[in-house]
Amino acid sequence: MTVDTLGSVRRIRPSHGAFLSGLLLVLFSGPETGRAGEAGQAGGKAEKRGKYVVEGSIFYPTYIAEGTVYTRGVSNMPLAANSADIAKYMPILPAKHNSPKISTFLNVTAGVPIYIVDSRDPRTPRATVQCPSFRKPSATLRKMIFSNDIPLPAYAQPSASSDSHLFVYDLGTDLMREYFLMKKNPDATWTASWGGYSEHMLTLAKDNFACQLAEGSAFVVGMIGGPGLIGIEEARRGEIRHAVGFLAANALEKVTSWPARGNDGTDTDLNAPAQGQWFRLPPSLNIEAMKLRPMTKLVARAAQKYGGFATDKTLGCHIFGGESGFVEKNRTGIDPWAKGGDLYKKYMFSNGYDLSDFPWHLTEWAPVDWGKPQ
């Protein structure tokens, strides 16, 4: 076991398991005692004011989707015949469809919470999650994400965005559940309009290189969405080690680009990007010399090394997604993205997390279905 300290919170990394050896687990008993909990075979256990706590990060120290499509290099990515035209179209796409005040921003004030649980421990809270009657999930999807036995922290809440996403990774079953339009009912049960799941999260590179959900969707592309967000620990350390997903102001109508499995674009302009279509910033571009805001520069570096793609459509501007600070706030009392938080101090500007200086006009776009297995 390796123990390291970051700020006032102790982090313990169990030495067993390919991913568990790198999973950032926060184990502690609360500020009243100052004692760290014991790590067990479940990947991490702790007492906090008498309650069971398992918390962690899918981004750091080990990125959960390492070796998948999210981390494939883009330096030798081929370019679509209309790559330059897509780049010209991207900056004007938001105004054409939605007339937002800004063209691009980072959504962290209503970011997606990612909860870590361990269903092997009997103290793990269980929740009932159901779907509306008009939905007709398969028997497997119902069993996996719509049941009365879903491990979920008692304090959980969905994102504050209009999509109300909620993601939960279960160490015990190695299962990721991702929910869309999730809400808690007065009787303490939950309703989600839809969702999806992925098994074998610890072996994605071998078993699911494309990072597609086994069934269902939370983002329209039907991929595992969590790994495409900007993680708190990544922002804290100043490095995003994967491709970045973003919600596009619109997308090319009726075209899905691998590894995506679905689309909802309505733009008929052939220079609109397809959902799932990869982009990058040119390898020769000197990002450090550009006058970009700190967060924009952070995202640009990732786009240059790993690329990015549209995961869904918005009714506003282009939106890069961030991991919600709600889970950390429950532990520390401070949302790192909010006023008083360390990431607020590092990245916040007067116009919020405005990324309108992101150089969309310099982006380069791969052909539709680049990298799809033949």
Q: What is the pLDDT of residues 269-324, one digit of tens each?
A: 999 999 999 999 999 999 999 999 999 999 999 999 999 999 999 988 999 999 99
In a domain, 187, yes or no: yes
Phi, psi of 347, rounded to the nearest 5 degrees: -125, -15
Contact predicate 48/38, CB 8 Å: no
Q: What CA–CA distance (Å, rounded) separates 267 from 253?
A: 5
In a domain, 374, yes or no: no
- Based on the fold, state whether residues 135 and 88 are members of the same structural domain: no
- Based on the fold, state whether residues 319 and 264 are members of the same structural domain: yes
Tell me which of 183, 198, 216 is where a domain ends: 216
Q: How many residues does the chain have?
A: 374
In a domain, 61, yes or no: no
- Based on the fold, state whether residues 166 and 239 are members of the same structural domain: no
Q: Which two tokens stand for residue 50?
A: 């008498």
- Based on the fold, state whether residues 265 and 349 are members of the same structural domain: yes
Number of domains the chain contains: 3
- Based on the fold, state whether residues 139 and 104 are members of the same structural domain: no
- Based on the fold, state whether residues 123 and 243 are members of the same structural domain: no
Cα distance from N-terminal residue to C-terminal residue, the chain: 43
Q: What CA–CA distance (Å, rounded) separates 12 from 4?
A: 7
Q: What is the pLDDT of residues 22-47, one digit of tens each?
A: 554 543 333 322 222 222 222 333 33
**Region of poorest pLDDT, from 48-57, 96-105, 110-119, 359-368:** 48-57
The whole domain housing 138 covers 114-216
More confident position, 144 or 10: 144
How many CB atoms neighbour CB 122 within 10 A? 7
Say whether pLDDT at 17 is over 50: no
Q: What CA–CA distance (Å, rounded) separates 242 from 66?
A: 8
In a domain, 134, yes or no: yes
Q: What is the pLDDT of residue 11?
A: 32
Q: Which two tokens stand for residue 285?
A: 């571009």
- Based on the fold, state whether residues 260 and 344 are members of the same structural domain: yes
Average pLDDT, the chain: 87
In a domain, 103, yes or no: yes
